[in-house]
Structure 1
Amino acid sequence: MGAPTTTHDAPPPPAPGTVERRRGRPVLPWAVLALWIAVLAVAAPFAGKLGDVQRDNIVDYLPAGADSTQVARVQQDLPGGESTQLVLVYQREGGLTDADRRTARNQAARIAAAHELTAEPRGVPAADGATLMFPVSSTEPGNDEKARAAFVEDVRAQVSGGAGLTVEVGGPSALQTDMEDVFETIDGTLMIATVLVVAVLLVLTYRSPFLWLVPLLVVGAAAVTSRAVVHGLVQGFGLTVTSQSGGIMTVLVFGAGTDYALLLVARYREELRRVPHPYDAMRAALRGCGPAVLASCGTVVAGLLCLLAADLNSARGLGPVGAVGVVCALAAMLTLLPAVLVLLGRRVFWPLIPRHGSEATRRRSLFAVMGSSAGRRPVAVLVAGAALLGALSLGAFNLPGTLKNEDGFTDRPESVSAMQKLAGAFPDRSSQPISVVTPTGTADRALAEARATEGVATAERGRSAEGWTELSVFAEDAPETAGETATIKALRAALDGAYVGGTSAQQLDLEDTNARDRIVVVPLVLAAVLIVLVALLRSIVAPLVLIVAVVAVWGAAMGLGGLVFGPLLGFEGFDPSLPLLSFVFLVALGVDYGIFLMHRMREEALAGADPTAAALTALRTTGGVIASAGLVLAATFAVLMNLPLVALVEMGFIVAVGVLLDTFLVRTYLVTSASLLLGRAVWWPGRLSRK
């Protein structure tokens, strides 16, 4: 390595008849660059509008066919739309005074005078005399998210305590507003944090003051394009995009796009030592690693599109949104990145410029050492690694229960604090209703049956419209407890033709639907990824090895989650969609590194290397790239752990840990050891399986 010289870059005299062809080659990179500039000029305004069309209604996160979803839809059609339900919680340690009660009544009356409420707020005192709650319900905001948030904030501004009296605003709508406030910050926070993380890792990887900036700018172009495309799909086809799916798409674009860039740049650097012209070196690099990158993208897209079979609306919507992001990342890395690198020439690698005809510095790398240890004792390495993954997987039995709404934040907002105070002050009474919608013609009978259902404390008749009537049912047990769950199930069994919903029923339906979706989606993901791998590797055994490896990694990552979430992080539950989504990400993304390794192994075998030499050469040449790519992908998902939502923290941890296990244990040791033990049989039934 050293400073660039002009002698190696000077091309040999052109053969007769080839002068014009060689002079014309630089035109293509310039044309590609001009095309992308035009695309970005058109896409940028629409990319900025994606946040305006994102939807975070509760229906967008619920199962499509569940009772609770039907209730939420009917409530949106009732007079005034879905009701905004709040609870004012007044509390003083040692007991409320008469002045405290007058203050609470006056503030509740002021709210009633300022807004159209469904009923006059009436105070409900706790048995200990220290807590007083005022339920507040209104249809004034309707189904407008911004109007609902403004209503909640105005109510919070209308109440105040002081001198030992505390007052907080809770209830389902307050909780939803606090959740939406977090969602509004996801895009900006994720984008900034992800860019910084990727930039730092690229600088450390390339050790160049310029080269790191090229992939970062290109992946930024892919992110802008993907946001614009998704915006177009929303406008043209009604695609549902939530803040969660939009944020995860950003992570996928930066993670997958940077991985593809690392592989391409590493192969391009190799070819620059063999080929005199950057244009020809890039063509050779694309021929060499292009199939692996395409297959990698294919597995991710296929895995994400399998989410379309899910019943959960948020998971089903994430499929096409994430797929668009990965495809845009692929398009940018296979067109814009090569064009920019060719136009910048060898000097973009300064100070470590790869000269034509030079040899890469030969040193015993970490991955050569790993390969040697796997080569000496492949059986011991394989058995020990499999035992370690199996032991880690046992930690999944320690995963906490289903995540409750009030436990969904890493920092406790006002709405959660209020609900926790209510649970302590009213242990024998539910502070949030179970919503029932029933055909208006049978409303009286349904009301009587609801009141007679075991576990029901009270039931009241509410609004009617479009042939439906809403009932508000209060259980005897606290929200999201086993007793209230039993009451919900009893109501569903007793009320024929009615739908039972509400916050607690939604959590119950989410748990049941995610269990159903795992049974349906997981086999589809495995089948789709297997098909792509078979097409790329021309083998059945090698794809099966990779599939088994990524499934083992997912199990180990879930086990580590069980050892960390409750005992170390203090989380009270885990999101019911976490097992499915983490499986899709780890299988679809994790298999990428197996593709990079196996594809290079197949190249070496096609060139005549024996199975052992092919495996060890592939590990030595791709190990560094796989390590860099794994670190980048793990870091981008780890960015999710900085967000104040428990579900996203858990997602970021599981995927990041799984990617690291996959990169530094499974690919380097277990897949290599298995390949060495299988020999030519790893390519069965392809022609490479025969001598």
Structure 2
Amino acid sequence: MPRPARWAARLLPLVLLVLWLAVGGGLGPYAGKLGEVATNDQAAFLPRSAESTRVIEAQRAFRQDETLPALVVWTSPGGAPLGPETRAAATRALATLSGQPGVVGAPSPALPSEDGEALRGVVQLRPDLGEELAPTLAEIDRAASAVPGTTVWLAGPAATQADLSDAFAGIDGLLLAVALVTVLLILLLVYRSVLLPLIIIVGAVLSLALACAVVYVLADHDVVRVDGQVQGILSILVIGAATDYALLLAARYREELARRDGERVPAMRAALRQSAGPITASAATVALALLALLFSDLTNNRALGPVGAIGIVCAVLSTLTFLPAVLVLLGRAAYWPSKPRPSESEGGGHGIWRRVAALVDRAPRKVWAATLAGLLACAAFSPLLESKGVPLDEIFVNDAPSVAAQEALGRHFPGGAGNPAIVIADAAAAARVTSAAEAVEGVDSAAAVTASGRPGAGAPLVVDGRVR
């Protein structure tokens, strides 16, 4: 090789390494900033064609000041009826919250249940409280606990959102840490090397940083959509794909090093020629499969398609640039303490994999037929899958306060007290629709929502000729 070409071959890996380290240092923070452009709304988990999705969209026209309701429930520890004095004390306790940070408008008075054993009040909160939601709920609990002889429960959308935020706090970091530790252990067992697993993991993390930065920019310009589910899957997907592709290239480079007596650049060129095709083909298969999610009727599934494909592309880019650069710079040292031996290149790898390859080569039809039979046997269980959704009391692994509060609410008040069914109807038919709804078995009451946001407390609020 001419001297300029030798210098270029030595300098290129160093330039690529510096560029990728700059990517990690400059774009790494975007992994933690994806939550800023995330959109988590109820409609994202419903089919676009579902009637409930259309109702959610139609309700937006009725919201003058969007709020997040918190339901306060008082019960008697012994099941004794709560008298007028207790009801008055509960109403005064709620009134003290008026004007508090995060509270919108005046809280409702405390209303008794039909059995007289519980009281219920509603405090409307700002929907954008974020990290201040938990302290605001704690202040509501403190004020409500001033009512003597009662047990206080906080239910409703605000309490559920706070419990979900607590349950998912740091979930992305936890998933990423578990994935990295798992990959590290597998690599240590497979390669029995100290440096190589760390190199592969660093490359995977750098590709994740690049993917998060690209997704952040696109989401910030409303090109793609990001939610909590997409965030969690993206990190696992990129780490897994980058590791998978890196294993193929690292194994091929090890064989070429042994075959070429440790000559780094020729070995990497040969390894890239033999590995780039399978890696890009595999990545294209995964990316196209993810893009098929664009045909899904669920918004959150459609969001995962392009975001996942971006992650796969970044994983391939890291595998074919960062990893070769580091391996060329380190040479045999990347596989320390084990050393690539010529015998490995002759047989095509280690013993167990040579035997697997020989089996596939010797009887390919039997192998794919047996594999297909196993897949069909597993697929036979698919009719047992139930995708009817998860009720609130089964979402949390541990006991959540909002779930217990919802159960207490359901024991003394109608089932829809915390989350009523919503009907959008023509204003001219409001009275008839209300009567028809009340006539349905299982319905406790029905009323049109007024301008104050309270059902049945005045004239219905009419928007575009419709009532709610």
Please classify the TM superposition score into its range, dividing by the shorter chain length. 0.7 to 0.9
Instruction: State the secondary structure of the residue aligned to 1:345.
Output: helix
Equivalent residues of 2:34, 2:212 under 8 A apart? yes
C-alpha separation between the residues in 2 aligned to 1:161 and 1:113? 11
**CA displacement, residues 557-602 of structure 1 (integer Å, 9 cap, x when unaligned):** xxxxxxxxxxxxxxxxxxxxxxxxxxxxxxxxxxxxxxxxxxxxxx
Structure 1 residue runs of 5 or longer lacking an equivalent are 1-13, 473-496, 501-691
- Structure 1 residue 287, shift from structure 2 partner: 1.2
Amino acid at match of 1:122: A
Instruction: State the secondary structure of the residue aligned to 1:211.
Output: helix
Matched, 1:419 2:403: no
Matched, 1:456 2:412: no
**360-369 or 18-27, larger mean C-alpha shift:** 360-369
Who is 1:435 aligned against?
A: 422
Query: What are the residue-to-residue correspondences of 1:32-71 with 2, within 5 Å?
Result: 32-71=16-55
Amino acid at match of 2:215: V
TM-score w.r.t. length of structure 2: 0.82
Who is 2:219 aligned against?
A: 234
C-alpha separation between the residues in 2 aligned to 1:429 and 1:39? 51
Who is 1:320 aligned against?
A: 306
Instruction: State the secondary structure of the residue aligned to 1:169.
Output: strand
- Going from structure 1 to structure 2, the CA distance change for 1:265 and 1:471 (only over 3 Å counts) comes to farther
Who is 1:586 aligned against?
A: none
Who is 1:408 aligned against?
A: 395
Q: Which residue of 295, 304, 309 corresponds with 2:295?
A: 309
Who is 2:74 aligned against?
A: 90
Equivalent residues of 1:64, 1:312 under 8 A apart? yes
Instruction: State the secondary structure of the residue aligned to 2:108.
Output: coil
- Going from structure 1 to structure 2, the CA distance change for 1:337 and 1:160 (only over 3 Å counts) comes to same
Cα RMSD of the aligned pairs, angstroms, is 3.7
Who is 1:254 aligned against?
A: 239
Equivalent residues of 1:85, 1:135 under 8 A apart? no
Query: What are the residue-to-residue correspondences of 1:569-648 with 2, within 5 Å?
Result: none
Equivalent residues of 2:193, 2:335 under 8 A apart? yes
**341-350 or 440-449, larger mean C-alpha shift:** 440-449
C-alpha separation between the residues in 2 aligned to 1:498 and 1:165? 41
Amino acid at match of 1:85: P
Amino acid at match of 1:24: A
Instruction: State the secondary structure of the residue aligned to 1:212.
Output: helix
- Going from structure 1 to structure 2, the CA distance change for 1:69 and 1:112 (only over 3 Å counts) comes to farther
C-alpha separation between the residues in 2 aligned to 1:301 and 1:470? 49
Equivalent residues of 1:90, 1:104 under 8 A apart? no
C-alpha separation between the residues in 1 aligned to 2:407 and 2:45? 24
C-alpha separation between the residues in 1 aligned to 2:147 and 2:338? 66
Equivalent residues of 1:436, 1:471 under 8 A apart? no
Who is 1:109 aligned against?
A: 92
Amino acid at match of 2:408: K
**CA displacement, residues 58-83 of structure 1 (integer Å, 9 cap, x when unaligned):** 24433344333343345445455334
Matched, 1:31 2:15: yes
Equivalent residues of 1:462, 1:471 under 8 A apart? yes
- Going from structure 1 to structure 2, the CA distance change for 1:344 and 1:426 (only over 3 Å counts) comes to same
Equivalent residues of 1:72, 1:82 under 8 A apart? no
Instruction: State the secondary structure of the residue aligned to 2:73.
Output: strand
- Structure 1 residue 268, shift from structure 2 partner: 0.9
Query: What are the residue-to-residue correspondences of 1:44-193 with 2, within 5 Å?
Result: 44-92=28-76, 94-96=78-80, 98=82, 102=85, 105-115=88-98, 116=104, 120-125=108-113, 127=115, 131-138=117-124, 140-142=125-127, 145=130, 151-160=136-145, 166-193=151-178
C-alpha separation between the residues in 1 aligned to 2:48 and 2:406? 28
- Structure 1 residue 405, shift from structure 2 partner: 2.8
**CA displacement, residues 149-188 of structure 1 (integer Å, 9 cap, x when unaligned):** 5544432343339999533211233223322333332222
Instruction: State the secondary structure of the residue aligned to 1:89.
Output: strand
C-alpha separation between the residues in 1 aligned to 2:426 and 2:364? 70
- Structure 1 residue 119, shift from structure 2 partner: 6.3
Percent identical residues: 33
**CA displacement, residues 281-325 of structure 1 (integer Å, 9 cap, x when unaligned):** 111111112111101111111111111222211111111222221
C-alpha separation between the residues in 2 aligned to 1:65 and 1:144? 31
Equivalent residues of 2:97, 2:143 under 8 A apart? no
Equivalent residues of 1:269, 1:354 under 8 A apart? yes
- Going from structure 1 to structure 2, the CA distance change for 1:156 and 1:94 (only over 3 Å counts) comes to closer
Q: Which residue of 230, 233, 250 corresponds with 1:245?
A: 230
**CA displacement, residues 240-271 of structure 1 (integer Å, 9 cap, x when unaligned):** 21121111100001111111111111111111
Instruction: State the secondary structure of the residue aligned to 2:447.
Output: strand
Instruction: State the secondary structure of the residue aligned to 1:365.
Output: helix
**403-412 or 42-51, larger mean C-alpha shift:** 42-51
Query: What are the residue-to-residue correspondences of 1:338-487 with 2, within 5 Å?
Result: 338-355=324-341, 364-365=351-352, 368=355, 372=359, 389-400=375-386, 402=388, 403-425=390-412, 431-438=418-425, 443-444=430-431, 446-453=433-440, 455-464=442-451
Amino acid at match of 1:237: D
Instruction: State the secondary structure of the residue aligned to 1:90.
Output: strand
Instruction: State the secondary structure of the residue aligned to 2:328.
Output: helix
Equivalent residues of 1:245, 1:317 under 8 A apart? yes
Instruction: State the secondary structure of the residue aligned to 2:339.
Output: coil
Equivalent residues of 2:82, 2:118 under 8 A apart? no
- Going from structure 1 to structure 2, the CA distance change for 1:412 and 1:119 (only over 3 Å counts) comes to same
Who is 1:599 aligned against?
A: none
Amino acid at match of 2:226: V
Equivalent residues of 1:50, 1:227 under 8 A apart? yes
Equivalent residues of 1:450, 1:459 under 8 A apart? yes
Who is 1:287 aligned against?
A: 273
Who is 2:462 aligned against?
A: none
- Going from structure 1 to structure 2, the CA distance change for 1:71 and 1:373 (only over 3 Å counts) comes to closer
C-alpha separation between the residues in 2 aligned to 1:324 and 1:194? 19
Q: Which residue of 317, 323, 326 corresponds with 1:331?
A: 317
- Structure 1 residue 342, shift from structure 2 partner: 0.6
Equivalent residues of 1:79, 1:464 under 8 A apart? no
TM-score w.r.t. length of structure 1: 0.58
**CA displacement, residues 608-653 of structure 1 (integer Å, 9 cap, x when unaligned):** xxxxxxxxxxxxxxxxxxxxxxxxxxxxxxxxxxxxxxxxxxxxxx
C-alpha separation between the residues in 1 aligned to 2:418 and 2:217? 42
C-alpha separation between the residues in 2 aligned to 1:61 and 1:396? 22
Q: Which residue of 216, 220, 223 corresponds with 2:208?
A: 223
C-alpha separation between the residues in 2 aligned to 1:396 and 1:170? 36
Instruction: State the secondary structure of the residue aligned to 2:173.
Output: helix
Amino acid at match of 1:436: V
Structure 2 residue runs of 5 or longer lacking an equivalent are 99-103, 457-464
C-alpha separation between the residues in 1 aligned to 2:193 and 2:148? 61
Query: What are the residue-to-residue correspondences of 1:261-300 with 2, within 5 Å?
Result: 261-276=246-261, 277-300=263-286
- Going from structure 1 to structure 2, the CA distance change for 1:339 and 1:178 (only over 3 Å counts) comes to same
Equivalent residues of 2:97, 2:140 under 8 A apart? no
C-alpha separation between the residues in 2 aligned to 1:356 and 1:363? 12
- Going from structure 1 to structure 2, the CA distance change for 1:259 and 1:163 (only over 3 Å counts) comes to farther
C-alpha separation between the residues in 2 aligned to 1:462 and 1:118? 17
C-alpha separation between the residues in 1 aligned to 2:319 and 2:223? 29
**CA displacement, residues 5-24 of structure 1 (integer Å, 9 cap, x when unaligned):** xxxxxxxxx6xxx3432333
Instruction: State the secondary structure of the residue aligned to 1:460.
Output: coil
Equivalent residues of 1:278, 1:342 under 8 A apart? yes
